Amino acid sequence: MNKGDYLAYRKASSISLVGLVLQLLLTTIVFFYSRVAGDWAAGTASTFLATGLIAWGLLLLIFDQHRRERMEAMEADQLAVSGASAASAFDSVGDELRVAARRLAFIYKWVVPGGAVLIGVMNFWVGASRLNSWSEMALKNESFVYSPRLTGWMLAIGLSLAVVGFVFARFVSGMGKVDAWSNLRAGSAISVAGALIGVVMAVGAFLELSLGINTVIVWSPVIVSIGMMVFSLEIGLNLLLDVYRPRKPGETPRPAFDSRLLGLLAAPDRIAENVGEAVNYQFGIDVTSSWFYQLLSKWIVMFVGIGVGIGWLMTMLVVVEPHERGLIVTNGRISEPLISFGDRGDGDIGPGLHVKLPWPFSRYETPVVMSKRGESEVRTTTGVRVLHLASNPPSPATTPILWTESHTGVERLNIVQPDRIVEAQGEEETPTHESSSVAELSLLAVEVPVHFVIRNVKLFDQFAVPGQREELLKQIGRRVVTQYLGELSIHEVLATHRTQMPLELKERIEDAFGELNSGQGAGIEILFVGVNGVHPPTKVAPSFERVIIARQNRESLVEEARKLQITVLTETAGSVELAEEINDRLIGLNEMRRELGRESVEYIEAELEVQRLLERAGGEAGELILAAGAKRWDRHMSERGRASLLQGQQEAYLASPALYRSNMYFEALLEAMKESRVYLTPADLGSLKVRLELQDKQTGTDVFDPEAGEAMQ
C-alpha cells in the first residue's frame, strides 16, 4: 500500500475534524438562539444537530483508524520488500500483529452500529416526545399562538446554516466519490440535514418579515420533529438491511446513519436523472417530443449561450484532486488563487476548491509524471515515487536468490575499495600487507531504492523540463551513490556498515538535491533510502563463498579453543574468572619471591592467601592441595606417635633392662608362634614319630558371623 492512502485518510480525518468543529459551532449557535428567542423548533433542531456531533466523531474515529491501519500495512510492506521479514521471529503470526486492522474491524462491527443506534434512538425519542408535547400544548390551549422572538436573527441564522451546510455538504459529497472517502457521504448527509433546518428557519422568517405569513414558523416544530423521526427510522431500516445485504470482500461498510434521502439532496444532479427516468418509465413516452421540449428548443441558442458563459465562468473554479498538487499560471507566471477553500502551499495549491481568473488569462497546471499500472494510467503528485540509484531490483520471485544466481537482466556494478585485512596487535590494528603501486578495486552490485514525495510543486516544476525531472534526480543520486560506495571497502559494504549506510546516503542525497533551484531544493521530501541485495558479481561469488567458509572455520577453531580454555580453567579453579584471579595472584607471588625471598613474612602471607583461594575455588587444584594437606597431617601424626613410643620404650629399658629384654623376647616369640602348632613331649623320649591328619574339620564358614573367615584371610 502506498503513502498516498495514508495521506488520503489523513485528509479525510482533517475534513471530519472540520465537520465536527463546524457542527459543534452550528449546534451551539442554534441552541443559544433557541434559549434567547424561545424558539421551540430551534430547540428541537439543536438536539438533532447535537446527534450530528456523534456522527462526525465516528467518522473522525473511522478515518483516523484507517490512517493508522494504512501506516501499519505500509510498514509491513516495506519490511517484506526489504527482506527483513524472512529473518523475523514473528512471520508465522504476522496477521496477529495487525493491531490497527483488528481495531478497525472492531469499530466497523460494533462501534459504528452502536453509534448509529444511539443516534437513531436519540432522534426518535426526542422527536416523538417534542411532537407529543407540542401537540398537547396546541390542543389544550386553543388561543396559543407560536411566535418566536428575534425573527431577524432567525432569518440570519437560518440562511447561514443553509448556505454553510449545503456548501460543505457539496464539498464533502464530492470527496465521497473517492473510494477511500466514501464514508464522508454520511457527513454530507448530516450537513444537508442541518442545511434543511436552516432552510425551514430562513423561509419561515422571510415569510413572516416580508408577507406576515407565519404558517411555516407555526409548523416548523412539527416539521423538525417528524424529520428527526424519519431520519431515525431510516437508520433502523439501514441497520436491518445491512444484516442481510451481501458484501464483497474488501468492501468498506457504509454507516447506518448515512441517509440515502439526504444524500440525494447533497448531490442534486442525481435527482434530475432519477426523475427523468421515472417519468419515462411511468408515462412510456419520449419527453423530447413533448410540447415543452419543442418550446424549449426555440430558446436553445440563448440557453446554449448562457451555458457557454456559465461554462467559461466555471473555468475560474479549480478542484484539485486528493492525490494532486498544482500551479496556477496567469499570463505565463505562477500566481496565487483569487479565493482558496483548500490547501495552499508555497506557490502551489493542494486538494480542495480554488478560484482563479477565467481561461485563457489563467490556467491550472499539474506537473506530474504519468505512471502505468497494467493498462491504466495514474496521475499523481503526492503519491510515493521510487528511484533506483544503483542496480535494478530483481523481478518478483517465490524462491530465494543466491549470490551465484542472476538477480536481474542487466546489473549495474559499483566500484568499492578492496578488503583491508587487519590483525590485532595489542590495542592497535595495523595492515598485514603494504599497498602495492597498482590500484586495486572491487565490484559489487547494490540496490539503492529511494522513496520520495513531492512537497513543493513550484520548485519541482522549475528545476527541469517535463519528462526530465526524475531522470535528472536519478543521475544526481547515482553520482552520490557512486562517490559514497567508492569510499568504503568491500567488507564494510557487505557487513559492517549496512545499518549506517542508508542514513549517510539519505543525508548526502538530500544535500545534493538541495543544491537544485539555486539552493532552494527540488521540492521533494525523501522518505526512505535503502541498501538492499548487496552481492558480488555472479562469476566471483564462489570465491567469496570460500572466503566466508574459511572465516567460519577460523571462527569455529577459535570457539573450540575458547571452549577448551573454559573447560580446563573451570576444572582446575572452579570458574574462569576465579582462575584468572588466581593466575594474577601467582604472577604477583613470583615477583614478590624474586624481590623479598621465600622467607619473608609478606611472601608467606601471600602464599597462604593464594592457597586458601585455591582451596575455596573447589577445582582440581584445590582438591590436590586439600589431599596433600590431609596426607601431610597423617604422616606427621604417625611419625609423632612412633617417636612417643620410642621414648616410652627407652624409659622402660632404663628402668629395668633385663625385664625389658625378656618382655620383648617373649612378645616376639608369641608373635612368631601365633599361628603355629606346638607339641609337648618328655625330655627322655628316644624316638618320636608324629602322624598328622592335615584335614580341616570345618570346610565352610558361618555366613551370619561378620568375623568368620578372618583367620583364613
* Residue 615 is assigned to a structural domain of this protein: yes
122 lies in the same domain as 32: yes
What is the structure's pLDDT at 270?
55
Q: How confident is the model at residue 150 (pLDDT cuts 50, 70, 90)?
A: confident
* Residue 555 is assigned to a structural domain of this protein: no
Q: How confident is the model at residue 83 (pLDDT cuts 50, 70, 90)?
A: low
Residue 549 burial (C-beta neighbours within 10 Å; 0-12, 13-18, 19+) = exposed
What is the structure's pLDDT at 25?
92
Please write the tens of the pLDDT for every residue from 537-583: 877 777 777 777 888 888 888 888 888 878 877 777 777 777 777 77
Instruction: For cell 440515502, name the residue.
Output: 260
pTM: 0.41
CB 364 within 8 A of CB 457: no
Give the chain's end-to-end CA distance (angstroms, integer).
95
CATH code of the domain in which 528 resides:
3.30.479.30
Out of 259, 282, 305, a domain closes at: 282
Contacts of 309 (CB under 8 A, 6+ apart): none
Structural domain count of the chain: 4
What is the structure's pLDDT at 272?
47
463 lies in the same domain as 494: yes
What is the structure's pLDDT at 379?
56
* Residue 689 is assigned to a structural domain of this protein: no
DSSP sequence for 587-628: HHHHHHHHHH-TTSHHHHHHHHHHHHHHHHH-SHHHHHHHHH
Task: Find the mean pLDDT for residues 79-89.
Answer: 57
520 lies in the same domain as 573: no
Alpha-carbon gap, residue 581 to 277, rounded angstroms: 98
113 lies in the same domain as 246: yes
Q: How confident is the model at residue 139 (pLDDT cuts 50, 70, 90)?
A: low
Contacts of 523 (CB under 8 A, 6+ apart): 454, 455, 456, 457, 458, 459, 460, 461, 462, 463, 517
304 lies in the same domain as 275: no
| Residue 112 reports pLDDT greater than 60 | yes
What is the structure's pLDDT at 424?
41
Q: How confident is the model at residue 145 (pLDDT cuts 50, 70, 90)?
A: low
Q: Which range has highest mean pLDDT (20-34, 136-150, 594-608)?
A: 20-34
CB 505 within 8 A of CB 365: no
* Residue 610 is assigned to a structural domain of this protein: yes
307 lies in the same domain as 394: no
Alpha-carbon gap, residue 7 to 351, rounded angstroms: 11
145 lies in the same domain as 266: yes
Task: Find the mean pLDDT for residues 588-611.
Answer: 76
CB 550 within 8 A of CB 463: no
* Residue 673 is assigned to a structural domain of this protein: no
User: In DSSP terms, which residues pair with 447 in a beta bridge?
Assistant: 532
Query: With left for phi above 0 and alpha for psi between -120 and 50, is residue 445 left, alpha or beta?
Result: beta
* Residue 664 is assigned to a structural domain of this protein: no
What is the structure's pLDDT at 143?
52
60 lies in the same domain as 168: yes
* Gyration radius (Cα) of the chain, Å: 51
CB 73 within 8 A of CB 4: no
What is the structure's pLDDT at 312?
83
Q: How confident is the model at residue 89 (pLDDT cuts 50, 70, 90)?
A: very low
Contacts of 183 (CB under 8 A, 6+ apart): 12, 59, 62, 63, 176, 252, 254, 255, 258
DSSP label at residue 251: P
525 lies in the same domain as 633: no
- Which amino acid, 603? Y
C-beta pairs of 80-83 under 8 Å, 24+ apart in sequence: 82/530, 82/532, 83/532, 83/533
Closest CA to 186 of 55, 62, 60, 67: 55
Alpha-carbon gap, residue 569 to 571, rounded angstroms: 6
* Residue 132 is assigned to a structural domain of this protein: yes
Range of the domain at 237: 3-83+97-282
HEC string of 639-653 equals HHHHHHHHHHHHHHH
333 lies in the same domain as 396: no
Task: Find the mean pLDDT for residues 125-148.
Answer: 73
| Residue 178 reports pLDDT greater than 60 | yes
Instruction: For cell 616369640, name the residue.
Output: 669
Please write the tens of the pLDDT for every residue from 336-389: 888 888 777 777 777 888 888 887 788 877 765 555 444 444 556 667 788 888
Q: How confident is the model at residue 425 (pLDDT cuts 50, 70, 90)?
A: very low
What is the structure's pLDDT at 374?
42
What is the structure's pLDDT at 302?
77
CB 576 within 8 A of CB 569: yes
CB 167 within 8 A of CB 175: no
Task: Find the mean pLDDT for residues 40-52.
Answer: 87
325 lies in the same domain as 404: no
What is the structure's pLDDT at 189?
86
47 sits in which H/E element = helix 40-81
Out of 642, 675, 695, a domain closes at: 642
Return mean pLDDT, the chain. Answer: 77
Instruction: For cell 433557541, name the residue.
Output: 34
* Residue 53 is assigned to a structural domain of this protein: yes
Out of 536, 568, 594, a domain closes at: 536
DSSP sequence for 629-679: HHHHHHHHHHHHHHHHHHHHHHHHHHH-HHHHHHHHHHHHHHHHTTT----
255 lies in the same domain as 225: yes
